[in-house]
Structure 1
Amino acid sequence: MQKLLITGASGFLGWNLCQVAAPAWEIYGTYFSRSTPIAGTTLLKVDLRQFQDLKNLFQTVRPDAVIHLAAQARLDRCQQEPEDSHLLNVTLAGNVAGLCADFAIPCVFTSTDQVFDGLNPPYRETDPVSPIQRYGEQKALAETEVLNRYPKTAVCRMPLMFGAVPPTASSFLQPFIQTLREGKELNLFVDEIRTPVSGTTAARGLLLALQTVQGLLHLGGRERISRYDFGRLMVEVLDLPATGIKPSRQQDFETSAPRPPDVSLDSSKAFALGYNPLSLREELSQLKGNV
């Protein structure tokens, strides 16, 4: 079997990707501080910020392909710690792409729908980036850096993601569910629109991109939905208490990093390649009993 190197394997998307990819690949996954066993994956502790350590990783594993997920994805953390997050989100991404170019192997880099300002949705790959917060700015810079270093890279812009999680990570779904089960109030935005997918679906999209794509690709879901309406659907499908869900607006809450209102992705290009997200109702139904 060919070797697939996945950076950030202990995170939400990495954990899902390792499981989806396991039947077809010999998987090596990196982590930094927290690790949990993943069936079919050899986990390696590496400080990817250290270029020599990253280079040694490539020379030791000799991967046939790389999917680079490791990043600082917390919007407020990026806003508050710009230098540290730039090192992870921009410098590291460029270094990974450069090493993939040196080894002449397929590379996937995960970007985000946050590279857009949310004012002209839905967004296609050809639309200009327009980030409004530091995380989006860093990912937009990383896209340019990665493609300059290695034009054959598949740069996949990811939507809001949810699903089952390892002990080392979380999706937005788990805190929602816990809040409702504890009988607490859950404020969800009616004015933040996304195109969410499950971690499993996202993982399948990344593996498809690895085999078929060079350049930009959007991996959003088929449905545009607000966080509030997603919460209502979640309550219905997962049989959760509904009384705690309250509609709210972004302006009602102060955050360090601004949130764009509607970063829905037009993923027609991916759909034409065979990317096939289920409906959100189907995705949530498959999670029943596992979240």
Structure 2
Amino acid sequence: MIVPSALIVGVDSTVGGWLWQNLGDQGWDVFGTSRRKASCEQDDNCFYLDLCALEPSKLPVDVDCIFLCACMTNMAQCQANIALSQQINVTAQIDLARYLTKKSAAKIIFFSSNAVFNGAIPFSKVDQKISPINGYGEQKANVEELLLAHIPEALILRLTKVLTPNNSLLKNWVKTLQDGRTIEPFYDLPVCPITMDYLCQCLLALLDKGASGIMHISGAKDVSYDELAKSLADHLRLPRALIRAKSAAELAMYRDRSPGFTSLDMSRTYALSGLNPLEINQVIEHVSRKLLCSA
């Protein structure tokens, strides 16, 4: 039996860390990179890599798949530190992908975002014209364009919001409600969440089919953060009365414009994988169960 192998660039990230753990649990030979030297000193399969000063020559390249997970994801920080985020989110991604494809026959998988769209309509399609409204979205769109031009066999996965039980917002909501204090989720900011388990299920199905180009992985519909908070409270039997919604316009980054929708059309992914978009109740049930288990 041939054991699949992977290099995960950015095991400190949410997606990278999950792949590092779960692909290993499924029998893959897994290697990873981290910007934390201490992490690398504790595991021989983890290699130090700083995307601000790229030195990839010591990375293992004799693998089947290379997952590009490391990036700056905080949209406000990306906007405030354009030069730094451009280096990490664009320049380093492309330089690393080009280097690795010269050294290896591995499949490159890049994790993009629904932020390449302005959110004017729901269920944005794969071939819809990109229209980012912030620096983070522009950077993801730039990498997509360069990968399609120079490494067309790469797989580009545009994701909606990945919710995990370790999500700081969810944990803070739960703790605050348990303490009998109010939370203030946004009633006018949408989210279309998926789980890490679902992401991995789609990812492995697409890899099995030899998918390349752009694919979407999305929840079934947009909900507001207010609706998300209320559903979570109901599942955990926490008081809805402590949930007092407010407008996202109070945040500087959404003062001028916020997306009306974040959902993505998954018809191309469904055609290859047979997997339907994840329903919101499935996300809430999964996250709630994990939160209860970790309590």
Of 125-134 and 197-206, more deviation after overlay is shown by 197-206
> What is the aligned counterpart of 1:220 among 214, 218, 222?
218
List aligned pairs for 1:160-175, cutoff 5 A: 160-165=161-166, 170=167, 172-175=169-172
Q: What is the CA distance between 1:199 and its match in structure 2?
A: 1.7
The 8 Å contact of residues 266 and 277 in structure 2, kept in 1 or not, is answered as: no
Decide whether aligned partners of structure 1 residues 130 and 163 sit closer, same or farther in structure 2, where only a CA change above 3 A counts.
same
Look up the match of 2:89. Answer: 89
Q: What is the CA distance between 1:266 and its match in structure 2?
A: 1.2
How many angstroms apart in 2 are the aligned matches of 1:7 and 1:283?
A: 26
Decide whether aligned partners of structure 1 residues 99 and 206 sit closer, same or farther in structure 2, where only a CA change above 3 A counts.
farther
Look up the match of 2:30. Answer: 27
Q: Does 1:198 align with 2:195?
A: yes
Give the strand-richer structure, 1 or 2: 1
Look up the match of 2:263. Answer: 264
Amino acid corresponding to residue 240 of structure 1 in structure 2: L
Of 269-278 and 128-137, more deviation after overlay is shown by 269-278
List aligned pairs for 1:137-156, cutoff 5 A: 137-156=138-157
How many angstroms apart in 2 are the aligned matches of 1:249 and 1:35?
A: 41
Decide whether aligned partners of structure 1 residues 82 and 149 sit closer, same or farther in structure 2, where only a CA change above 3 A counts.
same
Tell me the number of residue pairs that the alignment of Structure 1 and Structure 2 aligns: 282
The 3-state SS of whatever aligns with 2:199 is: helix
How many angstroms apart in 1 are the aligned matches of 2:218 and 2:140?
A: 17
Amino acid corresponding to residue 19 of structure 1 in structure 2: Q
The 8 Å contact of residues 108 and 210 in structure 1, kept in 2 or not, is answered as: no
The 8 Å contact of residues 73 and 135 in structure 1, kept in 2 or not, is answered as: yes
The 8 Å contact of residues 108 and 206 in structure 1, kept in 2 or not, is answered as: no
Gaps of 5+ in 1: none
Deviations 1:185-240 (CA, angstroms, capped at 9, x unpaired)? 32222222232101221222233333431111110112321211111111111233
The 8 Å contact of residues 157 and 217 in structure 1, kept in 2 or not, is answered as: yes
Gaps of 5+ in 2: none
Q: What is the CA distance between 1:45 and its match in structure 2?
A: 2.6
- Aligned-pair identity (%): 25
Q: What is the CA distance between 1:41 and its match in structure 2?
A: 9.4
User: RCO higher in 1 or 2 (8 Å CA, sep ≥ 6)?
Assistant: 1
List aligned pairs for 1:1-291, cutoff 5 A: 1-22=3-24, 23-33=26-36, 42-51=45-54, 53-57=55-59, 60-102=60-102, 103-165=104-166, 170=167, 172-211=169-208, 212-255=210-253, 259-274=258-273, 275-276=275-276, 278-287=278-287, 288=289, 289-290=292-293
Decide whether aligned partners of structure 1 residues 66 and 235 sit closer, same or farther in structure 2, where only a CA change above 3 A counts.
same
How many angstroms apart in 2 are the aligned matches of 1:107 and 1:194?
A: 28
TM-score, normalised relative to structure 2: 0.86
Amino acid corresponding to residue 49 of structure 1 in structure 2: C
Larger radius of gyration: 2
The 3-state SS of whatever aligns with 1:188 is: coil
Q: What is the CA distance between 1:171 and its match in structure 2?
A: 5.2
How many angstroms apart in 2 are the aligned matches of 1:132 and 1:75?
A: 11
Decide whether aligned partners of structure 1 residues 224 and 35 sit closer, same or farther in structure 2, where only a CA change above 3 A counts.
farther
Of 171-180 and 74-83, more deviation after overlay is shown by 171-180
Deviations 1:87-139 (CA, angstroms, capped at 9, x unpaired)? 11101221232134312221110011111111122201011110111111111
The 8 Å contact of residues 48 and 54 in structure 1, kept in 2 or not, is answered as: no
Decide whether aligned partners of structure 1 residues 172 and 157 sit closer, same or farther in structure 2, where only a CA change above 3 A counts.
farther
How many angstroms apart in 2 are the aligned matches of 1:263 and 1:17?
A: 24
Decide whether aligned partners of structure 1 residues 27 and 221 sit closer, same or farther in structure 2, where only a CA change above 3 A counts.
same
How many angstroms apart in 2 are the aligned matches of 1:207 and 1:50?
A: 31
Q: What is the CA distance between 1:36 and its match in structure 2?
A: 6.6
How many angstroms apart in 2 are the aligned matches of 1:150 and 1:273?
A: 21
TM-score, normalised relative to structure 1: 0.87
